[in-house]
Structure 1
Amino acid sequence: MDAAYQIKRRKRSDSSTSATIELGEEDRLLIRLKDEESMPWKDIAARFQSDLGKTYQIPALQMRLKRLRERMRVWTEPDVKALRMAHEYWVQSKFDIIAQKMLEYGASEKWTARQCARKWAEIDPGPTPYTTYEHHMPTYAAYTMSPVEAHHFMPYVHNQ
Protein backbone atom coordinates (compact mmCIF):
# COMPACT_ATOMS: atom_id res chain seq x y z
CA MET A 1 0.00 0.00 0.00
CA ASP A 2 1.21 3.46 -0.90
CA ALA A 3 2.42 5.31 2.22
CA ALA A 4 0.68 8.50 1.06
CA TYR A 5 -2.66 6.83 1.74
CA GLN A 6 -1.87 5.65 5.26
CA ILE A 7 -3.18 8.38 7.50
CA LYS A 8 -2.04 8.63 11.10
CA ARG A 9 -4.63 9.43 13.78
CA ARG A 10 -4.03 9.96 17.44
CA LYS A 11 -5.87 7.86 19.94
CA ARG A 12 -7.91 9.54 22.67
CA SER A 13 -5.85 8.71 25.71
CA ASP A 14 -2.26 9.08 24.56
CA SER A 15 -1.20 11.62 21.99
CA SER A 16 2.05 9.75 21.34
CA THR A 17 0.23 6.63 20.10
CA SER A 18 -1.14 6.56 16.61
CA ALA A 19 -3.34 4.30 14.57
CA THR A 20 -3.22 3.89 10.82
CA ILE A 21 -6.37 4.04 8.73
CA GLU A 22 -6.03 1.80 5.74
CA LEU A 23 -7.97 3.06 2.76
CA GLY A 24 -9.56 0.75 0.23
CA GLU A 25 -9.05 0.95 -3.50
CA GLU A 26 -12.14 3.10 -4.07
CA ASP A 27 -11.22 5.56 -1.31
CA ARG A 28 -7.66 5.90 -2.62
CA LEU A 29 -8.98 6.51 -6.14
CA LEU A 30 -11.46 9.11 -4.92
CA ILE A 31 -8.82 11.03 -2.96
CA ARG A 32 -6.31 10.86 -5.82
CA LEU A 33 -8.76 12.05 -8.45
CA LYS A 34 -10.23 14.90 -6.39
CA ASP A 35 -7.37 16.09 -4.20
CA GLU A 36 -4.32 15.36 -6.34
CA GLU A 37 -5.71 15.68 -9.87
CA SER A 38 -8.50 18.21 -9.08
CA MET A 39 -10.82 16.35 -11.40
CA PRO A 40 -14.45 17.53 -11.80
CA TRP A 41 -17.09 15.37 -10.11
CA LYS A 42 -18.68 14.17 -13.35
CA ASP A 43 -15.28 12.94 -14.54
CA ILE A 44 -14.66 11.21 -11.21
CA ALA A 45 -17.98 9.38 -11.51
CA ALA A 46 -17.02 8.35 -15.06
CA ARG A 47 -13.62 7.05 -13.86
CA PHE A 48 -15.28 4.95 -11.14
CA GLN A 49 -17.41 3.41 -13.90
CA SER A 50 -14.53 2.84 -16.33
CA ASP A 51 -11.78 1.84 -13.85
CA LEU A 52 -13.81 -0.10 -11.28
CA GLY A 53 -17.07 -0.88 -13.05
CA LYS A 54 -19.00 0.88 -10.27
CA THR A 55 -21.71 3.47 -10.79
CA TYR A 56 -22.01 6.20 -8.19
CA GLN A 57 -24.10 9.35 -8.19
CA ILE A 58 -22.07 12.54 -7.78
CA PRO A 59 -23.67 13.47 -4.40
CA ALA A 60 -22.77 10.00 -3.07
CA LEU A 61 -19.14 10.50 -4.08
CA GLN A 62 -19.10 13.98 -2.55
CA MET A 63 -20.50 12.69 0.75
CA ARG A 64 -18.03 9.80 0.72
CA LEU A 65 -15.10 12.21 0.32
CA LYS A 66 -16.47 14.46 3.07
CA ARG A 67 -16.71 11.50 5.46
CA LEU A 68 -13.23 10.29 4.49
CA ARG A 69 -11.77 13.70 5.26
CA GLU A 70 -13.54 13.74 8.62
CA ARG A 71 -12.12 10.31 9.52
CA MET A 72 -8.63 11.34 8.43
CA ARG A 73 -8.47 14.53 10.49
CA VAL A 74 -5.78 14.56 13.14
CA TRP A 75 -6.13 16.37 16.44
CA THR A 76 -3.05 18.54 16.96
CA GLU A 77 -1.78 19.50 20.40
CA PRO A 78 -3.20 23.05 20.01
CA ASP A 79 -6.57 21.50 19.05
CA VAL A 80 -6.58 19.31 22.15
CA LYS A 81 -5.50 22.25 24.30
CA ALA A 82 -8.31 24.39 22.86
CA LEU A 83 -10.81 21.59 23.50
CA ARG A 84 -9.69 21.29 27.11
CA MET A 85 -9.91 25.05 27.61
CA ALA A 86 -13.37 25.23 25.99
CA HIS A 87 -14.56 22.34 28.15
CA GLU A 88 -13.16 24.01 31.25
CA TYR A 89 -15.02 27.20 30.32
CA TRP A 90 -18.22 25.19 29.93
CA VAL A 91 -17.70 23.44 33.28
CA GLN A 92 -17.23 26.76 35.02
CA SER A 93 -19.98 28.63 33.15
CA LYS A 94 -22.70 26.07 32.54
CA PHE A 95 -25.02 27.22 35.33
CA ASP A 96 -24.56 30.87 34.33
CA ILE A 97 -25.70 29.84 30.85
CA ILE A 98 -28.57 27.77 32.26
CA ALA A 99 -29.75 30.63 34.49
CA GLN A 100 -29.79 33.00 31.50
CA LYS A 101 -31.73 30.53 29.34
CA MET A 102 -34.41 29.71 31.90
CA LEU A 103 -36.46 32.85 31.17
CA GLU A 104 -36.39 32.02 27.45
CA TYR A 105 -37.78 28.58 28.29
CA GLY A 106 -40.66 29.92 30.35
CA ALA A 107 -39.37 30.37 33.92
CA SER A 108 -41.60 32.76 35.83
CA GLU A 109 -38.68 34.65 37.38
CA LYS A 110 -34.90 34.94 37.11
CA TRP A 111 -32.80 32.41 39.04
CA THR A 112 -29.11 32.70 39.86
CA ALA A 113 -26.53 30.19 38.69
CA ARG A 114 -26.07 28.98 42.28
CA GLN A 115 -29.81 28.45 42.73
CA CYS A 116 -29.98 26.51 39.46
CA ALA A 117 -27.02 24.35 40.49
CA ARG A 118 -28.58 23.58 43.86
CA LYS A 119 -31.95 22.68 42.36
CA TRP A 120 -30.28 20.54 39.69
CA ALA A 121 -28.32 18.67 42.37
CA GLU A 122 -31.61 18.06 44.14
CA ILE A 123 -33.53 16.75 41.13
CA ASP A 124 -30.63 14.97 39.40
CA PRO A 125 -28.04 13.89 41.97
CA GLY A 126 -26.19 11.63 39.51
CA PRO A 127 -22.80 12.58 38.07
CA THR A 128 -22.62 14.48 34.80
CA PRO A 129 -20.73 12.23 32.34
CA TYR A 130 -18.81 15.07 30.62
CA THR A 131 -17.43 16.68 33.75
CA THR A 132 -13.91 15.56 34.52
CA TYR A 133 -12.35 18.67 36.04
CA GLU A 134 -14.09 18.75 39.42
CA HIS A 135 -11.03 20.16 41.15
CA HIS A 136 -11.28 23.34 39.01
CA MET A 137 -15.01 23.83 39.34
CA PRO A 138 -16.61 26.65 41.23
CA THR A 139 -18.59 25.72 44.31
CA TYR A 140 -21.99 25.82 42.62
CA ALA A 141 -20.89 23.28 39.97
CA ALA A 142 -19.55 20.74 42.45
CA TYR A 143 -22.86 18.86 42.30
CA THR A 144 -21.14 16.36 39.97
CA MET A 145 -19.36 14.83 42.94
CA SER A 146 -20.85 12.25 45.22
CA PRO A 147 -22.43 13.63 48.41
CA VAL A 148 -19.47 12.29 50.38
CA GLU A 149 -16.88 13.99 48.14
CA ALA A 150 -18.93 17.16 47.85
CA HIS A 151 -19.45 17.59 51.60
CA HIS A 152 -16.69 20.16 52.09
CA PHE A 153 -17.53 21.89 48.76
CA MET A 154 -21.29 22.02 49.18
CA PRO A 155 -22.47 22.82 52.69
CA TYR A 156 -26.09 22.67 51.54
CA VAL A 157 -25.82 18.95 50.65
CA HIS A 158 -26.82 16.95 53.69
CA ASN A 159 -25.43 13.44 54.08
CA GLN A 160 -27.94 11.10 55.62
Structure 2
Amino acid sequence: MVFSSFSLKEFDMTTTWILVANATRAILWVSRGTGQDLEFGQRFEHPEGRLKNGEIASEAGGRNSTPAGHGSRPATQWKTTPREEEAEKFAREIVRELSSGLSAKKFDRLLIAASMDFMGKIRDLLDKPLQERVAATVVRDYTNLPPNELREKLSDVLLV
Protein backbone atom coordinates (compact mmCIF):
# COMPACT_ATOMS: atom_id res chain seq x y z
CA MET A 1 0.00 0.00 0.00
CA VAL A 2 1.35 3.43 -0.92
CA PHE A 3 0.57 6.51 1.11
CA SER A 4 1.26 9.95 -0.18
CA SER A 5 2.51 12.39 2.38
CA PHE A 6 0.42 15.46 2.92
CA SER A 7 1.80 18.33 4.87
CA LEU A 8 -0.48 20.87 6.50
CA LYS A 9 2.30 23.38 5.81
CA GLU A 10 1.88 22.74 2.06
CA PHE A 11 -1.84 23.37 2.40
CA ASP A 12 -1.09 26.60 4.26
CA MET A 13 0.98 27.81 1.31
CA THR A 14 -2.04 27.75 -0.99
CA THR A 15 -3.08 31.15 -2.28
CA THR A 16 -6.83 31.55 -2.54
CA TRP A 17 -8.53 34.42 -4.29
CA ILE A 18 -11.87 35.25 -2.74
CA LEU A 19 -14.27 37.13 -4.97
CA VAL A 20 -17.24 38.80 -3.27
CA ALA A 21 -19.57 40.38 -5.80
CA ASN A 22 -22.93 41.75 -6.80
CA ALA A 23 -24.06 43.52 -9.98
CA THR A 24 -22.59 46.88 -8.95
CA ARG A 25 -19.40 46.12 -7.04
CA ALA A 26 -16.92 43.37 -6.40
CA ILE A 27 -13.90 42.96 -4.15
CA LEU A 28 -11.10 40.50 -4.62
CA TRP A 29 -9.48 39.33 -1.37
CA VAL A 30 -6.40 37.14 -1.04
CA SER A 31 -5.92 34.39 1.55
CA ARG A 32 -2.39 33.06 1.84
CA GLY A 33 -3.24 30.23 4.20
CA THR A 34 -5.30 29.12 7.14
CA GLY A 35 -5.29 31.52 10.04
CA GLN A 36 -3.88 34.40 7.98
CA ASP A 37 -5.61 37.76 7.63
CA LEU A 38 -7.25 38.45 4.30
CA GLU A 39 -5.32 40.84 2.09
CA PHE A 40 -7.08 43.37 -0.11
CA GLY A 41 -6.55 42.54 -3.77
CA GLN A 42 -8.70 44.71 -6.00
CA ARG A 43 -12.00 46.59 -6.07
CA PHE A 44 -14.32 46.71 -9.07
CA GLU A 45 -17.12 49.27 -9.33
CA HIS A 46 -19.93 49.27 -11.87
CA PRO A 47 -22.27 52.19 -11.10
CA GLU A 48 -24.22 51.55 -14.31
CA GLY A 49 -25.68 48.52 -12.55
CA ARG A 50 -27.56 50.85 -10.21
CA LEU A 51 -29.41 52.61 -13.04
CA LYS A 52 -32.99 51.75 -13.87
CA ASN A 53 -33.73 50.05 -17.20
CA GLY A 54 -35.16 53.25 -18.71
CA GLU A 55 -32.09 55.26 -17.67
CA ILE A 56 -29.74 52.69 -19.18
CA ALA A 57 -31.79 52.51 -22.39
CA SER A 58 -31.92 56.29 -22.78
CA GLU A 59 -28.15 56.51 -22.28
CA ALA A 60 -27.75 53.80 -24.92
CA GLY A 61 -29.38 55.94 -27.58
CA GLY A 62 -33.11 55.35 -27.34
CA ARG A 63 -33.38 51.56 -27.33
CA ASN A 64 -36.61 51.88 -25.37
CA SER A 65 -39.68 52.60 -27.50
CA THR A 66 -42.56 54.68 -26.23
CA PRO A 67 -45.78 52.82 -25.51
CA ALA A 68 -48.51 53.24 -28.13
CA GLY A 69 -51.08 54.01 -25.45
CA HIS A 70 -51.77 53.90 -21.75
CA GLY A 71 -51.07 50.47 -20.30
CA SER A 72 -49.65 49.04 -23.51
CA ARG A 73 -46.22 47.47 -23.82
CA PRO A 74 -43.28 49.13 -25.56
CA ALA A 75 -42.85 48.12 -29.18
CA THR A 76 -39.32 46.96 -28.41
CA GLN A 77 -39.05 43.89 -26.19
CA TRP A 78 -35.69 42.74 -24.86
CA LYS A 79 -34.60 39.17 -24.33
CA THR A 80 -32.60 40.61 -21.47
CA THR A 81 -33.18 43.95 -19.83
CA PRO A 82 -30.60 46.72 -20.13
CA ARG A 83 -29.85 46.25 -16.43
CA GLU A 84 -29.13 42.53 -17.00
CA GLU A 85 -26.88 43.45 -19.92
CA GLU A 86 -24.94 45.80 -17.63
CA ALA A 87 -24.58 43.02 -15.06
CA GLU A 88 -23.30 40.65 -17.76
CA LYS A 89 -20.82 43.28 -18.94
CA PHE A 90 -19.57 43.68 -15.36
CA ALA A 91 -19.33 39.91 -14.90
CA ARG A 92 -17.23 39.66 -18.08
CA GLU A 93 -14.87 42.34 -16.73
CA ILE A 94 -14.43 40.43 -13.47
CA VAL A 95 -13.92 37.05 -15.17
CA ARG A 96 -11.29 38.59 -17.47
CA GLU A 97 -9.39 39.69 -14.36
CA LEU A 98 -9.71 36.22 -12.83
CA SER A 99 -8.44 34.62 -16.05
CA SER A 100 -5.52 37.02 -16.15
CA GLY A 101 -4.65 36.19 -12.54
CA LEU A 102 -4.81 32.47 -13.24
CA SER A 103 -2.60 32.83 -16.33
CA ALA A 104 -0.07 34.72 -14.20
CA LYS A 105 -0.28 31.94 -11.55
CA LYS A 106 -1.33 34.43 -8.87
CA PHE A 107 -3.69 31.98 -7.15
CA ASP A 108 -4.20 28.27 -6.65
CA ARG A 109 -7.85 28.25 -5.61
CA LEU A 110 -10.83 30.49 -6.17
CA LEU A 111 -13.74 31.04 -3.82
CA ILE A 112 -16.73 33.00 -5.11
CA ALA A 113 -19.39 34.60 -2.92
CA ALA A 114 -21.95 36.50 -4.96
CA SER A 115 -25.54 37.65 -4.80
CA MET A 116 -28.03 35.17 -6.23
CA ASP A 117 -28.73 37.13 -9.41
CA PHE A 118 -25.03 37.73 -10.10
CA MET A 119 -23.65 34.27 -9.26
CA GLY A 120 -25.22 32.72 -12.37
CA LYS A 121 -23.69 35.36 -14.61
CA ILE A 122 -20.23 34.69 -13.16
CA ARG A 123 -20.60 30.89 -13.39
CA ASP A 124 -21.75 31.07 -17.02
CA LEU A 125 -18.58 32.93 -17.99
CA LEU A 126 -15.98 30.76 -16.23
CA ASP A 127 -13.88 28.77 -18.67
CA LYS A 128 -12.69 25.25 -17.84
CA PRO A 129 -9.34 26.28 -16.26
CA LEU A 130 -11.13 28.71 -13.94
CA GLN A 131 -13.87 26.19 -13.14
CA GLU A 132 -11.19 23.73 -12.08
CA ARG A 133 -9.83 26.27 -9.57
CA VAL A 134 -13.18 27.01 -7.93
CA ALA A 135 -12.99 25.49 -4.46
CA ALA A 136 -16.41 26.71 -3.34
CA THR A 137 -19.24 29.06 -4.18
CA VAL A 138 -21.49 30.83 -1.71
CA VAL A 139 -24.69 32.49 -2.85
CA ARG A 140 -24.54 35.55 -0.58
CA ASP A 141 -23.75 39.21 -1.04
CA TYR A 142 -20.77 39.83 1.24
CA THR A 143 -19.55 42.98 -0.53
CA ASN A 144 -20.16 45.15 2.55
CA LEU A 145 -18.36 42.92 5.06
CA PRO A 146 -14.99 43.92 6.51
CA PRO A 147 -12.25 41.31 5.98
CA ASN A 148 -12.36 39.87 9.52
CA GLU A 149 -16.12 39.21 9.28
CA LEU A 150 -15.75 37.82 5.77
CA ARG A 151 -13.07 35.39 6.96
CA GLU A 152 -15.38 34.29 9.77
CA LYS A 153 -18.37 33.79 7.42
CA LEU A 154 -16.23 31.79 4.98
CA SER A 155 -14.11 29.90 7.52
CA ASP A 156 -15.67 26.51 6.66
CA VAL A 157 -15.15 26.85 2.92
CA LEU A 158 -11.68 28.38 3.24
CA LEU A 159 -10.53 25.04 4.67
CA VAL A 160 -11.92 23.06 1.71
TM-score in terms of structure 1 length: 0.26
TM-score in terms of structure 2 length: 0.26
Greater length-normalized contact order (CA 8 Å, ≥ 6 residues apart): 2
Bigger share in helix: 1
Bigger share in strand: 2
Q: Which has the larger radius of gyration?
A: 1
